[in-house]
Amino acid sequence: MNATRTIFAATGFWLCLGGVGLAFLWHISVGAKAIPLGVVWQAIAAPQVGVFDHVVVRDLRMPRAIFAISVGAALSVAGALMQGVTRNPLAEPGILGLMAGATFAVIIGIGWFGLAGTAYVPLFAAIGALIGAILVWTIASAAPGGATPLTLILSGAAVGGFLYAIESAAILLNEDTFRNFRVWLSGSLAGRDMQTYLWALPWFIAGLIAALVIARQVTALAMGEETAAGLGVDTFRIKVIALGAVVVLTAAAVSVAGPLGFVGLVIPHVVRLFVGSDYRLIVPFSAIVGAGYVTVVDIAARVVLAPVEISTGIVTTMLGAPVFIWLVRAKL
Partner 1 sequence: MKPLYGAFAAALVLFATPALALDCDVGMRAFNHAGGETCIPEQPQRIIGLHDQSVTLTLVELGAPVIGSHGRVDDNEQLYMRSVDLLFGLDFDSGQIGFAGTWDQMDFEAMAAMTPDLIIGREYDMETREKYEAIAPTVFIADTPTDPMAFPRGIADAAGVSDTYATQLAIYEANLERARFALPQVQGATYSKIQGWEGKLEVYAGYGGLTKVLADLGFERGAAGQEMADRGVVWGEEVSAEILPELEADYLFDTYTIAYGDTLADPALRLNDAVPGWCGFLTACTEGRYIVLPREYATGFSFTQLNMLLQMITTNVATSAAPQG
User: Which stretches of the chain bind partner 1, using CB under 8 A?
Assistant: 31-33, 50, 52, 55-56, 59-60, 172-177, 180, 182-184, 190-193, 302, 306-309
Considering the complex, state which of residue 193 and residue 234 has its C-beta at the smaller distance from partner 1: 193
Q: Please report which helix (H) or strand (E) contains residue 56, including its range.
A: none
Distance of alpha carbon 251 from alpha carbon 247, whole angstroms: 6
Of 259, 287, 200, the closest CA to residue 16 belongs to 287
Considering the complex, state which of residue 43 and residue 242 has its C-beta at the smaller distance from partner 1: 43
Distance of alpha carbon 31 from alpha carbon 68, whole angstroms: 15
CB of 85 to partner 1, least distance (A): 36
Q: Are 216 and 280 in contact (CB under 8 A)?
A: yes
* Residues whose CB is less than 8 angstroms from the CB of residue 76 and which lie 6 or more positions away in sequence, other chains included: 263, 264, 267, 268, 271, 286, 287, 289, 290, 291, 293
Distance of alpha carbon 41 from alpha carbon 99, whole angstroms: 37
DSSP labels, 121-144: HHHHHHHHHHHHHHHHHHHHHHST
Distance of alpha carbon 79 from alpha carbon 266, whole angstroms: 9
Q: Are 136 and 155 in contact (CB under 8 A)?
A: yes
Considering the complex, state which of residue 138 and residue 195 has its C-beta at the smaller distance from partner 1: 195
Helix axes 279-303, 263-275, angle to 10 degrees: 130
Considering the complex, state which of residue 55 and residue 123 has its C-beta at the smaller distance from partner 1: 55
CB of 93 to partner 1, least distance (A): 23
Considering the complex, state which of residue 36 and residue 191 has its C-beta at the smaller distance from partner 1: 191
Amino acid at position 119, single letter: A
CB of 38 to partner 1, least distance (A): 17
CB of 52 to partner 1, least distance (A): 5
Q: HSE of 78 in the Cβ direction (CA atoms, 13 Å)?
A: 41
Considering the complex, state which of residue 44 and residue 223 has its C-beta at the smaller distance from partner 1: 44
CB of 29 to partner 1, least distance (A): 12
Considering the complex, state which of residue 92 and residue 309 has its C-beta at the smaller distance from partner 1: 309
CB of 302 to partner 1, least distance (A): 7
